Amino acid sequence: MFDKLDAVASRFEEVNHKLMQPDVVNDQAQYTSLMKEYKRLEPIAEKYRAYRAAKQAYEEAREMLEEGGLDKELRELAQEQYDTNKQQIDEEAQELKLLLLPRDPNDEKNVIVEIRGGAGGEEAALFAGSLYRMYTMYAESQGWNCEVLGMSETELGGFKEISFSIDGEGAYSKLKFESGVHRVQRVPETETQGRIHTSTVTVAVLPEAEEVEFDLDPKDLQIDVFRSSGAGGQHVNKTSSAIRVTHLPTGMVVECQDERSQYKNKDRALKVLRSRLLDIKVREQNDRIASERKLQVGTGDRSERIRTYNFPQGRVTDHRIGLTLYKLDAVLNGDLAELIDALITFDQAEKLQASGES
């Protein structure tokens, strides 16, 4: 581990030096690339610096105690320095192990979230709307930006499906574990007998693909233009601005009709298509890895029931890690930090165990 840390510290200093060179500052592409590397290496380099400082203080205190000849006050100070820094060394070493774990290359990317009502008809569509609100409120608390890419509304104000982008640093790293089936148990507003219904909603969180990462061949695309439908006032059905893109090799279809501009709808549709195709490629790679070592969190299996929102008991349960919180209202108002942090911690623990076995 320490050979890796020495290499990281050396590279961090090298990158820091390069960032101050005029030729690098004037080269936007190189400067941007180095800044990304700097931000990635900085927390490791700083933590390693703190570890080495604690290690040195610990060794100095140990030598003083071993040599003896200290009066009572100095011995107590040396013992305190010894104990404090020994604990800090252990804590810093554990954190360094986490920082050295292989990073998901998509962690810093923006995301596209797709929410679809599943079993439960109108009740599922209404809960899809609740989840959309939950994620946008969480995004707002993180200082991220949201933009609707496409939606299909129901008469009662729910969504058969809705897709939206979330732009912000580390968005994928925090939201990637949200992919899967979300189950809701509650008495629907339309239920006259007071019976509890169970409905499901499927969530897919896709890392946003850059054009350079997934190049779409125009020959593989069929692009159709049609008139928008649904709510939209005087502009509905008067201009052919809606876009349907079909990816011929896979049969995947993406529609966008929320913008009045045909060009904006096309750009949005291609963004979604590119991200879906990249996600398929990534999941195929993960499946190969998972076949060798089963991961408990982050498999990306969207047929898996991952969470239950129980309204009568006011609780939320994440089935993957067995965590139950009795703060349903707060969670649906975007207070996802406790759930997300627990999922990240569990995933890190699994990876640490796996790295120890390999």
Query: Apex CA 74: angle with CA 70 and CA 77, to 5°?
Result: 135
Whose tokens are 């409120």? That residue is 137
Kindly report, residue by residue over 311-349, the tens digit of the pLDDT: 999 999 999 999 999 999 999 999 999 999 999 888 888
Element (H, E) at 324: strand 323-325
Percentage helix, strand, coil for the chain under 3-state DSSP, each rounded to 5: 50, 20, 30
Which strand ranges, in their side-by-side order, compose the sheet holding 242-247?
221-226, 242-247, 252-256
Please give the DSSP secondary-structure letter assigned to residue 208: P
pLDDT for residue 292: 40
Kindly report, residue by residue over 182-213, the tens digit of the pLDDT: 999 998 776 667 788 899 999 999 888 765 55
Q: Which of 178-182, 241-245, 259-263, 269-273 has the highest mean pLDDT?
A: 178-182
DSSP for 242-305 reads EEEEEETTTTEEEEE-SSS-HHHHHHHHHHHHHHHHHHHHHHHHHHHHHHHS--SS----TTSE
- pTM equals 0.67
pLDDT for residue 104: 76
Residue 128's pLDDT band, with cuts at 50, 70 and 90, is very high
Q: Which long-range contacts (CB under 8 A, 24 or more apart) does 192-196 make?
A: 196/312
pLDDT for residue 125: 93
Closest CA to 207 of 116, 337, 114: 114
pLDDT for residue 286: 63
